[in-house]
Amino acid sequence: MKTQNLFFAVTAFLLVFVAAQVTAQEHEHKPYTGSKAFERMKKLVGVWEGTMDMGDKGVMKSTLSYKLTAADSAIVETVFEGMPHEMMSIYHDDSRRQLTMTHYCAEHNQPKLMLTGMDDNKLAMDLSKDSDIDVTGEGHIHSLAIRFDGEDKMTQQWVSFENGKKGQTVEIDFKRVR
């Protein structure tokens, strides 16, 4: 009796496994090709190390990672991973195929940025008009510029706003480590 139960259990497992494989193959996604800006951002996938000049506080080191998710239609950027001030940004094309980014900030808000300009070496984003941010009273990231210095080097410039006015500008030089 135990041998028969074991046989049925193994057979049931194999049937479920085969059915799952067939279902997965039936639901394979076509490769996603996004806007020119999104496709440029996809080239950043990997791990990066950076340094930023903090003035009289010295130089701060930072690790940044990019990975694709959602059948390669979104890019997850994570900075200060594992630290109390870890932050994440999600890049994707909106319905108009324009690059959009939501920044999940250590300031406890989520500014939405939209592509405002791009050339071969630089990508610029500014706060979107439909972002859920009180610009006059809430400290937030207001813009991001990424300068591409080859395949393995880039510089990010983040600009914050406080009380409706430009606040701090942080520039970080990154090199790809893998």
* Total domains, the chain: 2
Is a pLDDT exceeding 70 seen at residue 95? yes
Q: Does residue 148 share a domain with residue 89? A: yes
Please report which residue ranges of 85-173 form alpha helices under DSSP H: none
85 & 8 share domain: no
Pairs from 53-59 (Cβ < 8 Å, separation ≥ 24): 53/171
- Identify whether residues 41 and 59 lie together within a single domain: yes
18 and 70 within one domain: no
Of residues 133, 97, 96, the one with CA closest to residue 113: 133
- Are residues 132 and 84 part of one domain? yes
Could you tell me the residue range of the domain that residue 4 belongs to? 1-30
With 60 as the cut, is the pLDDT of residue 124 above it? yes
pLDDT at residue 8 tops 80: no
Residue 58 pLDDT: 78
pLDDT of 10: 63
State whether 75 and 20 are in the same domain.
Answer: no
Q: Are residues 135 and 83 in the same domain?
A: yes
Query: What share of the chain has pLDDT > 90, as a percent?
Result: 66
pLDDT digits (tens, 9 = 90+) for 36-87: 999 999 999 999 999 987 777 778 888 999 999 999 999 999 998 888 989 9
CATH code of the domain in which 168 resides: 2.40.128.20
Per-residue confidence band for 15, with pLDDT thresholds at 50, 70 and 90: low
Mean pLDDT, to the nearest integer, of 151-161?
Answer: 95
Give the pLDDT mean for 123-139. Answer: 93
Q: Are residues 23 and 44 in the same domain?
A: no
Mind listing the pLDDT tens digit for each residue in 22-34? 555 556 778 889 9
Helices (H) and strands (E) in the chain, counts: 2, 10
